[in-house]
Amino acid sequence: MTLLGPSPHLSWSELACHDHARTPYPTIWRADRAVQLAQTFEKVRELLGNVAIVILSGYRTEAFNATLEGATSKSQHVQGRALDIWHQAHEPIDIYRMLRVAQEDGRLPLLGGLGLYRSFVHMDVRPKVPAGHLATWAGRGVTLP
């Protein structure tokens, strides 16, 4: 963990809530949840060619999450375990496919949730029940491959 963030390419400001106050990522989760999320993020970054990934959303307060259309109260963003990502060189469906294969073959062991949306991919490190289970879904108007 660095002073700027939990990993070399993921900063605390990227993980902060996008609410008006830019509520910081909770200190209580920085030693565990943020570390797991950052480890997975760094592996995803490697898979996508070691170039910048745009973080569209990280941690969300319950209040901010409630203002977002389609967001669930059980969101992994509220638990500090999720990122919505975008990559300039890859379509979301291609990122989704790459991450799904990498999780299945053991390269992303902490990846617990993977969502495909029109313009981004959701990834999270939720606890897996049963062990090894990957929760997958698609946003409105999107079909999983």
Asked whether residue 6 is domain-assigned, the answer is: no
- Crossing angle of helices 33-47 and 92-104, rounded to 10°: 110
Gap between the Cα atoms of 52 and 56, Å rounded: 12
Gap between the Cα atoms of 99 and 70, Å rounded: 23
Asked whether residue 3 is domain-assigned, the answer is: no
pTM for the predicted model, two decimal places? 0.94
pLDDT tens for each residue of 73-132: 899 999 999 999 999 999 999 999 999 999 999 999 999 999 999 999 999 999 987 777
CATH code, 37: 3.30.1380.10
Asked whether residue 57 is domain-assigned, the answer is: yes
Q: What is the pLDDT of residue 132?
A: 78
pLDDT tens for each residue of 24-49: 999 999 999 999 999 999 999 999 99
Asked whether residue 27 is domain-assigned, the answer is: yes
Number of domains in the chain: 1
Whole domain around residue 39: which residue ranges? 12-138
Asked whether residue 25 is domain-assigned, the answer is: yes
Asked whether residue 52 is domain-assigned, the answer is: yes
Q: Residue 84 forms beta bridges with which residues?
A: 57, 122
119: buried, middle or exposed (CB in 10 Å: 19+, 13-18, 0-12)? exposed
Q: What is the pLDDT of residue 1?
A: 64
Asked whether residue 7 is domain-assigned, the answer is: no
Asked whether residue 112 is domain-assigned, the answer is: yes
DSSP state at residue 28: G
* Consecutive H or E run containing 132: none
